[in-house]
Amino acid sequence: MPPTELPPTKDRPLIPTLRRFLPYLWPANALGLKVRIVGAMGFVVLSKIVQVYGAPFALQGAIDTMAGKVQAPNLTMLAMALVIGYAAARFGSVMFDNLRNVVFERVGQDATRRLAADVFRHLHRLSLRFHLERRTGAVTKVVERGTKSIDTMLYFLLFNIAPTVLELAMVVQIFGSRFGSWLVVGTLAMVVIYIAFTRWVTDWRNALRMRMNDLDTGAVAHAVDSLLNFETVKYFGAEDREAKRYEGAVNAYANAAVKSENSLAWLNIGQSLITNVMMAFGMGLVVYGWSSGRFTPGQLVLVSTLLTQLFRPLDLLGMVYRTIRQGVVDMAAMFDLLDTGAEIVDAPDANPLIVDRGHVRFEDVHFGYEPGRDILKGIDLDVPAGHTLAVVGPSGAGKSTLARLMYRFYDLTGGRITIDGQDIGQVTQTSLRAAIGIVPQDTVLFNDTIGYNIAYGREGAGEEEIVRAARGAAIAGFIERQPDQYETRVGERGLKLSGGEKQRVAIARTLLKDPPILILDEATSALDSRTEAEILDTLQAIERGRTTIVIAHRLSTVVHADQIVVLDNGLVAERGTHAELLRRGGLYADMWARQAQERQEALAAE
């Protein structure tokens, strides 16, 4: 089955998405973080008070003093004090802004950490079907974008939009109390027009940007595809044809890029026109009032300063709007992951599995990965405690499916599997998987040390236990010959080790776990004959005293089993010991003869 894309992201509006995130921003039982949030918002208010009521009024006072509009005994000292006050207010605004960041940083990082940890934990709780069908890169990108957008969203919402709204309210209050309603109406109208224009142009630019990105992706994809298939291009003498196609793709991208960049110029021109018309209108009102003696030169500077300060965050509105929109999309995609339900869940009254002996039974088991297409069609197996059952058969017969069902990676469509009489569908998954150990065909190791990979079998295992497990898996000698011994790195997916070495690490990991039930799923099928023989001796040693299910393709690896079951087309075709099945002369005997002939042909070829 080909990998499928993640579920489509819902087009969530801003408020519901933020409401979903609010518990992470305002966590219960975290008084320290709540104090930080309140403190940060306090610094926001202080910064705006100093910025709006401090600096502009100090500058107005200094100018009016120098213009002779203020009566005081020492005008020079007063003007000097007001200038110093103006500089101090500007410094105070910057200081409070940075103190706000210092206080709030822990809150943002903690919220990001907890949300990312919740998503990661949830991903591991999802069913095997989800992980087989998902694209790993797509999932990690969703989590990365979602967590990064949190910090950005918080910054812009709390420290750009909220302070701008607060500053607008303060400016409107000053204009209303000192200059009349005309300036208030003009300021509010300017803000509304500015926001509407910015949103309209930004949406237009986003469409152009998406088109440009699509064309860029297409051009790069075509170039890579053409270069990877350079032999085919040369076979057909199509170099010029490929160059023309690539040039066409690059030309389309260049045209789209020009439109996108030019749209930014129109956005800046339009924003500047709106703000400067407002500046001219506001300052013109003050000049008109000054001509009749109502206003002073300092008040002209006051209006200019207040409007300039208000325009500064508005100039970023296009970028803020675009970032918040993208942030909502990214956060919604991550919340969609959190909303993806686990296919396999514990029953409401599930109890831990208690393994006394390890008696395993498959009772009329039916299962299919897709509805209406059964892989197993009524399987009955009985594995007494301490016995070894081998399951063989042609590819696609359902052998490895048995192992996945034992681990309850999928739920049955019919029948049941029991361990010591307990239905595995009615016990907790954690206790079930703790009772089973597996040595898989394709051993995948973490990109860490050999010691770490062996210790993964049981959390908290000590060094002596790790060494004992390595000796039991007959890999201790190899490890001790390495310069770094148990600290030797195994590389990505264990690629620095040979196939036999990786299998022995997997055996050691399972030995360390020490489970009462063991599954060997094609554990030697990818190995050469000599390595296979060495591994088989180790495997048969660890089978003793455990209930073991051996899933194999090579029949030579299961001749020692207490019982051999032959699966064919989802049914039990034959069962018995190795000798009994050979005497019967059925499917098992045919498979044995065929594999014996293949071995002889391989030896002859050598």
Express each pLDDT in 477-502 by its tens digit. Answer: 788 888 878 788 877 656 677 777 77
How many whole angstroms separate alpha carbon 295 and alpha carbon 162? 32
pLDDT given for residue 396 in this prediction = 67
How many whole angstroms separate alpha carbon 547 and alpha carbon 562? 11
pLDDT given for residue 493 in this prediction = 59
pLDDT band at 130 (very low <50, low <70, confident <90, very high): low
pLDDT given for residue 352 in this prediction = 85
| 158 and 26 Cβ atoms separated by less than 8 Å | no
Q: DSSP E strands: which ranges in 492-580?
A: 517-521, 547-551, 563-568, 571-576
For residue 77, with 0-12 CB atoms within 10 Å meaning exposed, 13-18 middle and 19 or more buried, which class applies? exposed
pLDDT band at 3 (very low <50, low <70, confident <90, very high): very low
How many whole angstroms separate alpha carbon 8 and alpha carbon 340? 11
User: Which tokens hold the place of 161?
Assistant: 């939009």
C-alpha closest to that of 453 among 496, 415, 398, 393: 496
pLDDT given for residue 8 in this prediction = 43
How many whole angstroms separate alpha carbon 299 and alpha carbon 301? 5
pLDDT given for residue 603 in this prediction = 58
How many whole angstroms separate alpha carbon 362 and alpha carbon 343? 22
pLDDT greater than 80 at residue 467: yes
Q: How far is CA 131 from CA 124, 150, 457, 499, in A?
A: 9, 25, 21, 25
Per the DSSP assignment, residues forming a β-bridge with 472 are none
User: Which tokens hold the place of 550?
Assistant: 């051996």
Q: How far is CA 589 from CA 566, 571, 593, 597, in A?
A: 11, 17, 6, 12
Place of tokens 């200038």: 83
pLDDT given for residue 534 in this prediction = 62
Which amino acid makes up residue 354? I
User: Which tokens hold the place of 205?
Assistant: 């630019």
How many whole angstroms separate alpha carbon 399 and alpha carbon 570? 9
C-alpha closest to that of 70 among 297, 292, 289, 286: 297
Grouping H, G, I as helix, E, B as strand and the rest as coil, residue 527 is coil
Percent of the chain at pLDDT > 90 equals: 0
| Least trusted range by pLDDT, from 6-10, 239-243, 509-513, 578-582 | 6-10
Mean pLDDT on 337-356: 76
Higher pLDDT, 602 or 452: 452
Higher pLDDT, 273 or 3: 273
pLDDT given for residue 7 in this prediction = 44
Which amino acid makes up residue 584? R
Higher pLDDT, 527 or 60: 60
Per the document, the length of the chain is 606
pLDDT greater than 80 at residue 168: yes
| 367 and 403 Cβ atoms separated by less than 8 Å | no
How many whole angstroms separate alpha carbon 214 and alpha carbon 467? 55
Mean pLDDT on 321-339: 71
| Order of strands across the sheet that contains 571-576 | 436-439, 517-521, 547-551, 388-392, 563-568, 571-576
**pLDDT per residue as tens digits for the range 361-392:** 888 888 877 776 777 888 888 888 888 888 88
How many whole angstroms separate alpha carbon 177 and alpha carbon 340? 55
Neighbours of 223 (CB within 10 A): 15
Neighbours of 369 (CB within 10 A): 14
How many angstroms from the chain centroid is the CA of residue 405?
28
pLDDT greater than 50 at residue 411: yes
Helix (H) or strand (E) holding 423: strand 422-423
Overall pTM > 0.95: no
**pLDDT per residue as tens digits for the range 281-298:** 888 888 888 888 888 888
Average pLDDT of the chain? 78
Higher pLDDT, 431 or 159: 431
pLDDT greater than 50 at residue 6: no
Place of tokens 């690490």: 505
C-alpha closest to that of 279 among 312, 305, 317, 307: 307
For residue 424, with 0-12 CB atoms within 10 Å meaning exposed, 13-18 middle and 19 or more buried, which class applies? buried
Dihedral (Cα; 207, 210, 216, 221), 10-degree rounding: -130
Residues whose CB is less than 8 angstroms from the CB of residue 371 and which lie 6 or more positions away in sequence, other chains included = none
pLDDT given for residue 524 in this prediction = 67
Mean pLDDT on 178-184: 85
pLDDT given for residue 410 in this prediction = 80
User: Which tokens hold the place of 460?
Assistant: 């908290």
Which amino acid makes up residue 51? Q
CA dihedral (236, 240, 243, 245) positive or negative: negative
**pLDDT per residue as tens digits for the range 73-110:** 677 788 788 889 888 888 988 898 888 888 887 777 77
Neighbours of 456 (CB within 10 A): 16
| 548 and 520 Cβ atoms separated by less than 8 Å | yes
**pLDDT per residue as tens digits for the range 214-253:** 777 677 777 777 777 777 777 777 778 778 887 787 888 7
Q: How far is CA 545 from CA 289, 368, 391, 512, in A?
A: 101, 33, 19, 15
Instruction: Mark residue 472 as left, alpha or beta (left: phi above 0; alpha: psi -120 to 50; beta: remaining).
Output: alpha
**pLDDT per residue as tens digits for the range 500-553:** 777 788 888 888 887 888 888 776 665 556 666 666 767 777 777 788 888 887
